[in-house]
Amino acid sequence: MAYARLAKENTVPVRILEGQKTLISRTMHSMEYDAVRDELVVNSPLVQSILTFKGGSNGEIPPVRVIQGPKTQIQGTDYDGNDKMAMDPVNGEIFIGSATSAGPGKGVVLVFDRMANGDVAPKRIIGGPKTQFDFPTPKGQGFPHMTVDPVRNLLVVSTRGGLLIFDRTASGDVSPKRVIKGPKTLLTAGNGGGLIKVYSPNGMIVSSCTEGSICAWHIDDVGDVAPRFKIPVQKLTGINFSGPTLNPMHKEVIVTSSSRNVIATFYWPEIFETP
């Protein structure tokens, strides 16, 4: 569903994308808008695919491209599916986590060309013990989320209790350049499945953190470091949320709550300024 930015309680959506022809399934927990091509990219976990729609799609509209099939190596689990994906519109790439078997060093991140269509192989695969990947995780924690900083050419991958930072073009069994992890970070085991975003102009990474809060670190941070900024969302609103997503034009961060059917917007100018 799409809403006006200033929509409030009980507002009718301006567009709804739904129906069998869309191929959209439940448990999709992320989507990306490609402003370069005016396209919406979303994964469909139950059929293990990545769907691309025209930006203004409304109603029961089929995707313009579908990445799906054995060559893609997209694999889910019986519980979590492949519930999160990310996109780099600058370099034209789509990222998605895929299952191998649970445990440290397991799971892979698959990278596809933005224009890929059909049963196509990924252009790169990141995975192996050196990566420190640990997914899919037990029930309720799921697959990692990823975000790309095209300015610094870096890829950030969430892991249980931490953030792994790689070269964007990393491939194979490679070690992260930096790891943000430890009790001071306020990242917890549940953050392995949380959504993360990076604001490339200043390198701020935004993610959910302990006690129902949103925290922000800099992409150059390393080790057990405290977040530079924090919003105690649950304390302020009483909602358990997922997200976040960023609206740099209006210096806002947006979160959602499926349990309360709520979208909450916070004005957070600090994370959009020079650190």
H or E stretch at 234: helix 233-237
Q: Given the structure tokens 């519980």, which residue do they identify?
A: 79
pLDDT of residue 42: 84
Which of 50, 118, 120 shows the shortest CA–CA distance to 83?
A: 50
Q: For the sheet with 229-231, list strands across it.
A: 196-199, 204-209, 213-218, 229-231
**Options 3.40.50.11540, 3.40.190.10, 3.40.50.11030, 2.130.10.10; CATH of 20-272:** 2.130.10.10
To the nearest 10°, report the CA torsion of 207, 244, 6, 11.
-140
pLDDT tens for 251-266 read 999 887 766 677 788 9
pLDDT tens for 177-230 read 999 999 999 987 655 446 789 999 999 999 988 888 999 999 999 999 999 999
Tokens linked to 79: 């519980």
Question: What are the domain boundaries of the chain?
Answer: 20-272
Distance CA 255, CA 67 (A): 28
pLDDT tens for 53-70 read 877 666 667 888 999 999
Distance CA 13, CA 16 (A): 7
Single pTM value for the model: 0.85
- Using only C-alpha atoms, what is the Rg of the chain? 18
